[in-house]
Structure 1
Amino acid sequence: MAVAEPAPVGTLARWYLYGLHGYACEVLAAAATGFWERRDWRLRGYSSAWAGPLYATPALALETLYPRLRGHCCLPCRCLLYALLLYAWRLAAGATLHALGACPWDPRGRQGVLELGPACVLGGLLLEKLLVEPALRLRLAPRCPQPPAPPEPVFQLKDD
């Protein structure tokens, strides 16, 4: 019997993984901010239900850019491109959610390009190295073949 090759993890599953990662990062960042600003040792983090899709979608875009740029562009240049992508996504998503009255942050630019720039560069680097590269290598093993069912007992009536 031939063994099937492991299949790559699907796009929707990777989008979900990226969303969970973004959600966790946002909660941890909120906890760190609370500690930094108020010395709150409880490290309470919070987020919005929008965080998953808001982080997952640009990660998928970065995932499609990564293989194309990897051989042609050095790491600092890729990080700069990722930062531009992440910043543009944040502006577009913030404007859209603000128009709907659902934006979890202040989209009017309380944090400008200079403040968010380093975070976007670092975020792009971490996304590429810690999340996108491993996620693109993930494979699902084929299902194990089911063992054959044991034969059913045959009952026969005998004349005694």
Structure 2
Amino acid sequence: MVSLDSSAAPVPLTALSRWYLYAIHGYFCEVMFTAAWEFVVNQNWKFPGVTSVWALFIYGTCILIVERMYLGLRSRCSILLRCIIYTLWTYFWEFGTGYLLRQFNACPWDYSEFKYNFMGLITLEYAVPWFCASFIVERFVIRKTLRLRFHEGVEDGWSTRRREGSANGFLKAD
């Protein structure tokens, strides 16, 4: 019989596993945001969402750092203040990574056409979307990801040991 190994306590996801989930989340959200933006601005019913492979590193690392901020700030300040801090961090991170990528002609975004941009790397027009995204990231992505657990042992969490009374790996029902 395949049985749940009760002696193996579930363990939290590793930082690398959480980084991966955060990277995929950010990547997906960017594709969806750019598709929605294209629809709203150009009424393009094809919803062509775009991003860059750099977004995986940028979002994964940014959200992992926001996770650390959340753990340190959750008992010390309100959700409103935390989201403001996350939004400021996001602007700092977007500017820094954009500036670095621009040195290699690899920055995938350019906000130069926005009225309130700084060096084309960040724009104040995105303050509300970044604030809303930070709220969603804390309340749903980070909090739920921190609750995920791995089972020790076999990767799917099930023991391969057979018990007496089992046939072909399944419990015999009398």
Give the TM-score band, short-chain normalised.
Answer: 0.7 to 0.9
Q: Does 1:31 align with 2:35?
A: yes
Contact 2:99 2:121 survives alignment (8 Å): no
Aligned: 1:95 with 2:99? yes
Q: Which residue of 1 aligns with 2:134?
A: 124
Q: In 1, are the aligned partners of 2:23 and 2:56 still within 8 Å (CA)?
A: yes
Aligned length: 149
> What is the CA deviation profile of residues 110-155 of structure 1, one whole-angstrom value per residue up to 9, with x for unaligned ones?
752x312212211211110110000111011233222259xxxxxx
Q: CA deviation digits over 1:38-88, x for unaligned, max 9? A: 111111111111111111111000111111111110010000000111010
Question: Could you tell me which residue of structure 2 aligns to residue 144 of structure 1?
Answer: 158
1:100, distance to aligned residue in structure 2 (A): 1.1
**Helix, strand or coil: the match of 2:158?**
coil
Q: Is 2:19 the counterpart of 1:15?
A: yes
Shifted more, 8-17 versus 114-123: the winner is: 114-123
Letter in 2 for 1:22: G
The Cα RMSD (Å) is 2.0
CA, structure 1 residues 111+12, in 2 after alignment: closer, same or farther (shift >3 Å)? Answer: closer
d(CA) in 2 for partners of 1:124, 1:145: 39
Distance (Å, rounded) in 1 between the aligned partners of 2:6 and 2:50: 49
| TM-score, normalised by the number of residues in structure 1 | 0.86
What is the percentage of aligned positions where both structures have the same residue?
A: 35
Which structure shows the bigger proportion of residues in strand conformation? 2
Equivalent in the alignment of 1:155: none
The higher radius of gyration belongs to: 1
Report the equivalent of 1:156.
none
Residue equivalent to 2:125 = 115
| Residue type at the aligned position of 1:97 | L
Q: Which segments of 5 or more consecutive residues in structure 1 lack a partner in the other structure?
A: 150-160
Task: Give the TM-score, by structure 2 length.
Answer: 0.79
Deviations 1:5-60 (A, max 9, x none): 10101111111111111111111111111111111111111111111111111100
Q: Is the alpha carbon distance of 1:110 and 1:92 closer, same or farther for their aligned partners in structure 2, counting shifts above 3 Å?
A: closer
The separation in 2 between residues aligned to 1:58 and 1:2, in whole angstroms, is: 36
Runs of at least 5 residues in structure 2 that lack an aligned partner in the other structure: 112-118, 164-174
Match of 1:158 in 2: none
Task: Tell me whether 1:76 sits opposite 2:62 in the alignment.
Answer: no
Q: Alpha carbons of 1:7 and 1:110: their partners in 2 closer, same or farther (altered >3 Å)?
A: closer
Q: Which amino acid aligns with 1:3?
A: S
Q: Which moves more between the two structures, 135-144 or 83-92?
A: 135-144
Contact 2:31 2:49 in 1 (8 A): yes
